[in-house]
Chains A and B, each alone.
Chain A
Amino acid sequence: MEVRVEINGNKRNVENGITVLDVLEKEGIEVPTMCYLKGTEHFPTCMVCMVKDLQTNKLIPSCSTIVADGMDIISNDEEVVEARKTALELLLSDHVGECNAPCQTGCPAKMDIPEMNRLLAAGKFDEALMVVKKDIALPAVLGRICPAPCERACRRRNIDLPVSICLLKRYAADHDLQKLAPYLPDRKKLNGKRIAIIGAGPAGLSAAYFLLQKGYQCVLFDKNSLAGGALRYAVPDERLPKDVLDEEIEIIRQMGAVFEMGRELQKDELETIRKEFDGVIVATGEDNADFDGLDKRHRSFIVERLTHRSNLEGVFAIGSAIKPGRVAIRAVAHGKEAAIAMDQFQKNKPVKGDIRMFTSRFGRMYEEDHEAFMAEADDYPRIETAGDEGFTLDEVKSEAARCMHCDCRAKDDCMLRTLSDMYRVNQRRFFPKTRAPIRKIFRNKPVVYEPEKCIKCGICVKITSMQQDDLGLAYIGKGFDVEIEVPFDDSKLKLLEETAIQCAEMCPTGALELFENERY
């Protein structure tokens, strides 16, 4: 038997007894879901799968509404989007957790610091370096001169002193440079496009580093005879030994960068360069000259935020040339951002720059949160090194183990985050003035349970009851205060291992996650 429905204005005959979600999926229309567990009795809780039925002019949860004759479904209009967005914003107002750690958010280059720390603590230095070099072109250099905004954001500050992130990064980089063949990032096949980079300082070098990986040929023009810009000519040797700088520039050269040194471009030469190359990145530093046609205010070129696009098509500007101050980490971050924007421009994609994924935040840390945060960190004080010495191998492992891992175990695999990003939600909209303290419960190893991240979807309750796991998880309490808990709060109880792993896999957020990660 079939029923007749309309889907976004298209008449369809569909199978009787299936859900609206099934129908939409068959039509190839994607509908977001979180609490939906295929093959189980429906139990809608999250409400992000809402669609509109024009027949009744009501919003319905598509995952559990059975199709009926005459339904007139609109899957994605403004009202539907607004409802989904509001549902997500409500969930986020009760979601006390952070996707990315504050240190990563605070790092201009957005390096995944907790991941580096975990690998360093496990002695996996090569892997740690790869994490570093995913976002930072000159880590050995920055490991010496970076003002470390990440450490200002480090939550360990609330307990004692921040993790010594900068020196940890330096260790990873130095360890790599000591090798005969230091790490060379993978490069895509050459795509035949050529980019001119004016200025071989930290910003220009960084832009080249990322563009080369994307398959572009890069030519760097610089008035000086040696590359490095302000790093070479403005930073004293005792802070930054020049051999370290040379070694990291050498890596970029090995990646294929061409250096035209001693070549100061004149005002009118930009036009010529633009014709010769597919794109231009201006990274001429703080005391930069003018170029014809390139808009400037005071001493800085004017560019669009995030993309670094200038008023001239195909010309991007970065580093101290757009914002004076000679902050090396910022210059390096700009290089990465401009490379991404340039790539989008070259591929005729919308130029949006390095779009950051949504990250949940909760603001200040409370005294009551300390226990949960320290649960996975070593509690000894920050290791200080004498003078300009870096860490020893033992020190690096110990210091890295001080990291509290403020990032979420599920940051790369969280439906709440993915959807929040997709629907561009505003977490602050309903976020309360006071929030629940953060808990991390390890009672149910092999999983970690973080109740404040739970969205009460009920999937784990369903799984444990289907598996006939006697211990089971249950909804405890009701209303806003409802929690998913092991009954009787008995520390001796734990979930069956198999069920626990399944629950962690199916949890749409980072509330239930596997404790161990084979990477570390």
Chain B
Amino acid sequence: MTAENHIAIDNIIRECGSDKKNVIPLLQGLQDHFHYLPADVLKEVCRRTGITPAQVMGVASFYSQFRFQPTGKHIIKVCTGTACHVKRSGLVYDAFTRSLQLEPGNQTDPKGIYTLDKVNCLGCCTLAPVVQIEDTTYGHVDVEGVNRILKSFELKQSNSKQKSSILNNTRKIQGEIRVGLGSCCVASGSEAVRDSIHSAVIEKDLNVRMKRVGCVGMCHQVPLVEVIPKGKEPTLYSKVRTEDVSLIINKHFRPQGLWQKLSSSVYDLMTDIQTDKNWDGISQHHLQIREKHVTSFLGKQKPITTEFRGAIDPLDIDEYRHHHGFKALESVLSSISQQDIINKVKGSGLRGRGGAGYPTWEKWEKLKNQTNATKYIICNGDEGDPGAFMDRMLLESYPYRIIEGMIIAAYATQVKKGYFYIRAEYQLAVNRIKEALRICREQDYLGENILGSGLCFDIEIFEGAGAFICGEETALIASIEGNRGFPRLRPPYPVEKGLWGYPTLVNNVETFATIPYIIRDEGDNYNKLGTPNSKGTKVFSLAGKINRGGLIEVPMGITIREIIEDIGGGVADDKNLKAVQIGGPSGGCVPSWLIDTPIDYQSLKEIGAIMGSGGLLVLDETDCMVDIARFFLSFTQMESCGKCTFCRIGTKRMLDILNSICSGQGTFRALEELERLAQSITNGSLCGLGQTAPNPVLSTIRYFRDEYEAHIRGVCPSGKCQDLITYTINDNCIGCTKCAQNCPVDAIPFVPYEIHTIDQELCIKCDGCKQICPEDAVLVS
């Protein structure tokens, strides 16, 4: 090992600590430096610290973030989250494999430039399928676009960026331009747009305030830019491209009147967007918030947790204060007793938003009654559900609101120390929270004697390392303690015996973010929303085959139909609704005939779904329900911690059966076995992951048994299961040869102006010909 490496290791150990409990940050530090975890480096670390090889490797091999092989220069992440899956990201992944000429078992290309990776969810579900290379995210990727992406990335690498200028505060400010910088926006290129605006502003010598804002929720329209000329109505532009920037700025900050002409009816542009499939080539549109169709997207929503969305700069603490920020905390510290806070939370009817729906006040009261001097609060931001990104959006957009909620909880339950546990993949969220915590300390909201009240409380960030199971509270605690994320048997519950054995409150991000509103809420407004057993609002990520996807906050009790039709604008591409998947890998599918079911804990449970963390995935007639069940089960199977028999082996065996059904090898007996085994896993698992893992399978069998039976007979009714379908070309073919040129395995002979044919022996069912055919002449049967 080189002397340089020795120094690097020393520095990392000094920075991250040398104790067993620091093993995860330590490994993260090492991986940051070395890009992977070389065995000799790990051994060296063991020599220099008290950490044993068993501990280092036990932990490192548990979390998916850690790599043991060197990677290529760039990492290509293909999102395999739910929304991407139903938009066929699997085919995109295969296309990259071919394009990079990867050898089996090797994820890095022969030249060592790219490493191909699957990720659970990049949180850009409305842009599905999504691919990320380094910092650049590509949305709406199709098989045929893979090579273009690689080229465009290479081009981008050769052009270096430059920029920088400062707002001149001495001159009169002409207005404000808000750029959405939530993850979806960033993924869709909002940073480049911001850079263009920045350059344009400098070039034109305007004195315009540029402001980043959190997620607006209209992720189907990103990147979003809102222009507010001083003293005038704001205009919201959607799907903005860098080349549009100059035009937009000219419209607003030059003589008036020009932009009004360009304004067209929102209805038209909506229809336009619906049919647009390409990831480049979208023209910009602007939306007037008051126009009818935008109103319907926002109108049925009830922003409480997401109050003032799109209007406040996530990190501007003054602005937060202007929008009722810290009012709840101040009133609590000055005039509300601890018991009254808990009573207030109880009165609101708030139940934990992490999925299980445990009454929040009960946890708080239990913690408060623990006489231990040492207690902890943990904000669970380990959102791992493929297809859900509510917590990420809240962390990125409302850091102060969540922190305020945590301080109130700390005060009510007499806790001095809190943790943010945030998924490592949520780098933007981690950075924002880090900064927000620093500012809060500066401004006396955290630390000793908060606002002179005598309250002492501070919060530390712990970055997760990539394990879905760590969303389970006992596994999360094990992870902070520097262990593998094995869940523990409950009871004892964390409020009795949690982190380091001390009483610990674990609440979800959304739960904490709702607290300030509830405390401020004089008229019991929160409690008035919703149904008898489910109060208030819930944030969902609406994605899949929907016209207007995005983040929505709706009152409990709203029907699934209202969400799909009114907020989401119906199923995309004029297809028929088949089902809505609610609750992700722990949830179930609600068939189209039950969409008048109201969204509340009880009603969803009765129909075999769950509230879960809030993923809402719309499926249309072309989606295969067996495939969906298999998708979710393969996710939970991969993410099982591997401790208990039923989950570790049981989910694998269920997957074996599902795989055989999807490949036409299934039997009716195996289907019965699948149901029996599912029940055994539900009954015999210790933690929530195992107990709910069979849900997607059970609910699809319950409502779509005919589809399972069709597969057993050798037919995939939706034409999705590769082993059960064939591609053929019909008479619509005009002999354009596009498919022949595009076929990666030369299964289509090149015969210009003749009807093309597909050699079934060679065909790998990559779907490339179907996607590229201009005449819709490729049939799947």
Contact = CB atoms under 8 A, between A and B. Distances in A.
A474 B639 contact: no
B118 to A, nearest CB: 15
A83 interface: yes
B711 to A, nearest CB: 17
A472 B54 CA distance: 6
Contact of A487 (B53, B467, B651): B53
Given A86-B684, A90-B650, A91-B649, A477 B54 contact: no
A65 B489 contact: yes
A380 interface: no
Contact of B43 (A68, A473, A488): A488
B683 interface: yes
Contacts of B652: 94, 480
B173 to A, nearest CB: 54
Interface in B1-60: 39, 42-43, 52-58
A87 B645 contact: yes
B53 A470 contact: yes
Given A58-B683, A66-B491, A493-B53, 19 more contacts: A43-B486, A61-B686, A83-B680, A90-B650, A432-B656, A433-B656, A456-B643, A458-B643, A474-B53, A474-B57, A477-B62, A478-B642, A479-B638, A479-B648, A480-B637, A482-B642, A485-B57, A487-B53, A488-B43
B57 A488 contact: yes
10 contacts: A94-B649, A471-B53, A474-B55, A474-B58, A477-B61, A478-B640, A479-B639, A480-B652, A482-B642, A487-B56
B645 A488 contact: no
B641 interface: yes
B42 A479 contact: no
Contacts of A45: 643-645
A42 B492 CA distance: 13
Interface in B621-647: 637-646
A465 interface: yes
B61 A480 contact: no
Given A44-B489, A488-B39, A472 B645 contact: no
B62 to A, nearest CB: 5
A93 B42 CA distance: 35
A475 B62 CA distance: 8
A426 to B, nearest CB: 11
A480 B644 contact: no
Contacts of B684: 47, 50, 59, 83, 86-87
A91 B486 CA distance: 19
A64 interface: yes
Contacts of A493: 53
Nearest to A64: B489
Nearest to A476: B61
A61 B641 contact: no
**Among B39, B489, B673, residue most surrounded by chain A Cβ atoms (within 10 Å):** B489
B484 interface: yes
Contact of A42 (B54, B57, B489): B489
A493 B56 CA distance: 16
Contacts of B302: none
Interface string A28-62: 00000000000000111111101000000011010
Interface string A462-473: 001100001111
A478 B646 contact: no
Interface in B262-296: none
B484 A475 contact: yes
Interface string A56-91: 001101001110100000000000001100110011
Interface residues of A, number: 50
A455 to B, nearest CB: 8
A47 B644 CA distance: 7
B52 A470 contact: yes
A430 B61 contact: no
Contact of B683 (A59, A64, A470): A59
A432 B653 CA distance: 8
Contacts of A475: 58, 61-62, 484, 642
B653 A430 contact: yes
B683 A47 contact: no
**Among A461, A479, A482, residue most surrounded by chain B Cβ atoms (within 10 Å):** A479
A475 B680 CA distance: 25
Contacts of A48: 645
A5 to B, nearest CB: 15
A487 B649 contact: no
Interface residues of B, number: 41
| 5 tightest Cβ-Cβ pairs between the two chains A and B | A472-B54, A487-B57, A482-B642, A474-B58, A487-B53
Contacts of A93: 649, 653
B649 A480 contact: yes
Contacts of A487: 53-54, 56-58
B689 to A, nearest CB: 10
A199 to B, nearest CB: 46
A96 to B, nearest CB: 13
Nearest to A48: B645
Contacts of B640: 478-480
Contacts of B641: 478-479
Nearest to A50: B684
B680 A476 contact: no
Contacts of A432: 653, 656
A456 B648 contact: yes
A93 B680 CA distance: 15
Given A456-B648, A488-B42, A464 B680 contact: no
Contacts of A477: 61-62, 642
Contact of A478 (B57, B61, B489, B653): B61
Interface in B589-644: 637-644
B54 A479 contact: no
B54 A473 contact: yes
Contacts of B54: 461, 464-465, 471-474, 487
Interface in A443-500: 455-456, 458, 461, 464-465, 470-482, 485, 487-488, 493
Given A59-B683, A475-B484, A90 B61 contact: no
Contacts of A465: 52, 54
A26 B489 CA distance: 23
Contacts of B680: 82-83, 86
Interface string B51-87: 0111111100110000000000000000000000000
A432 B648 CA distance: 14
A456 B645 CA distance: 9
Given A45-B643, A68-B491, A478 B52 contact: no
Contacts of A482: 642, 648
Interface string A433-447: 100000000000000
B367 to A, nearest CB: 20
B54 to A, nearest CB: 3
Interface string B477-490: 00000001010010
A500 to B, nearest CB: 14
Contacts of B643: 43, 45, 456, 458
Contacts of B43: 488
A482 B467 CA distance: 14
B483 to A, nearest CB: 10
Nearest to A90: B649
Contacts of B673: 429
B676 to A, nearest CB: 8
A474 B484 CA distance: 10
A198 to B, nearest CB: 47
Contacts of B42: 488
Contacts of B39: 488
A416 to B, nearest CB: 11
Given A86-B684, A93-B649, A480 B642 contact: yes
